[in-house]
Amino acid sequence: MSVRERTVGFLRQRVLTPMALGVIILSLTLTAAFLGLVGLISGADLNVIARLPAYSLVMGIVFVVAILRLDSPNRDGMMVLVSTSGIAVLAFVLVGLATEGVMYTYNSPEEVVMSNLIFYFAAAGMVCTGVVFWALHHWREFATNDSRL
């Protein structure tokens, strides 16, 4: 086996795992969302209204997929509906802000790249990704009524 084949095999088995890809994608999405928030707050001409129907469509698709994935006969229907609604709203906000962040970066690269703003938000995106993965692994601890904290 050549060095190239061993390296590619190592990368596929250890680095490009589904969890690693999830971390990369979520970190990039959060970075773009932070930039989108800055773009909206700064009053940049982003034309959000023109893309609002697409964001609503994404929310609808996420809602249906979440209902299909979460609903089962042994789960409380109200809890599934509340969880699905929260996931759909979160998708709407995250996709909307991330898209606006990409548009803000495309329209004003000097404000984003030259000011090193993107590096700070990339770091914040990675920290938030770590917190999200931690929360997903430990959510049961917070869902119980145990008050050991």
As averages over each run of 10 residues, the pLDDT of the chain (149 residues) reads 77 72 89 92 87 96 95 89 94 96 90 84 92 83 63
pLDDT the model gives residue 30: 93
Break the chain into its structural domains and give their ranges.
17-143
- DSSP reduced 3-state for 103: helix
pLDDT the model gives residue 114: 80
Q: Is the dihedral of CA 74, 63, 83, 134 positive or negative?
A: positive
pLDDT the model gives residue 112: 84
pLDDT the model gives residue 95: 96
CA 100 – CA 74 distance, rounded (Å): 40
CA 138 – CA 136 distance, rounded (Å): 6
49 in Cβ contact with 82 (< 8 Å): no
pLDDT the model gives residue 64: 97
pLDDT the model gives residue 66: 95
CA 63 – CA 7 distance, rounded (Å): 40
pLDDT the model gives residue 16: 67
